Amino acid sequence: MNWLAHFVLSPDDDRIRLGNWLPDVMSRSELAAVSDPFVRIGIGLHQRIDETTDRHPAVAAAKALLPAGTRRFSGIVLDVFWDHFLTRNFGVLAGEPVSEFVPRVLAGLRAHAEPLSAELRDVLGRMDSEGWLLSYGSPAGIELTLARISRRLSGRARAEFQPAAARSALERDYRKYEAHFGELWPDLVPLGKGDRNRMASST
């Protein structure tokens, strides 16, 4: 799952959402040093979401649809595809318009961002100012997102990464990927619900 999905799957708490983002942008040693109990709940939730996604049969089936040139990066590509289908059905799946959810969540993350490095605070700012979380709704936006992600890869991997080919794969087998998302999402939603009880015991 990519960032938008991680935020949606979190309980409605800014620090848990922050923790649910950090494993994608911090090292293991940095994560181990986090002491805030709510942020730690989010870190654990992120890991459970990723583990469930990685072993889900719908994800394995979706990987098989990808062209050979993009299969090496299937985890990255499919995570972004899933955010596309989440965005397209956001009101039903998340209970509010994505245009309202995203600004509210980003404001909450920034309110708790002081302990983060200047680099991560800058990422949060650009996520907002450049509309990253609002760009998943079209195949063109998916290609743009993947191109943005490719800038974080090493030089050789960046040369092999093919955002345009990934977009073509999405457009070619759109209904199949959509069906696989429909199989995956219901198995992810319950993961954050148990954390509401942990939130209550931490207050």
The model scores a pTM over 0.85: yes
Q: Tens of pLDDT along 43-93?
A: 999 999 999 999 999 999 999 999 887 888 899 999 999 999 999 999 999
**If pLDDT is split at 50, 70 and 90, which confidence band does 192 have?**
confident
Transcribe 2-23 into DSSP letters. Answer: -HHHHHHHS-S-HHHHHHHHGG
d(C-alpha 100, C-alpha 175), whole Å: 27
| pLDDT value for 34 | 94
> What 8-state DSSP symbol labels residue 133?
G
| pLDDT value for 154 | 72
| pLDDT value for 178 | 98
d(C-alpha 185, C-alpha 127), whole Å: 24
pLDDT(199) > 80: no
d(C-alpha 119, C-alpha 100), whole Å: 26
Domain regions of the chain by residue span:
3-194
Q: How far apart are the first and last CA of the chain?
A: 29
pLDDT(158) > 90: no
| pLDDT value for 196 | 53
Q: Average pLDDT in the 190-200 region?
A: 66
Q: Is the distance from CB of 37 to CB of 57 less than 8 angstroms?
A: no
Q: Tens of pLDDT along 102-156?
A: 999 999 999 999 889 999 999 999 999 999 999 999 999 999 999 888 887 777 7
pLDDT(200) > 50: no
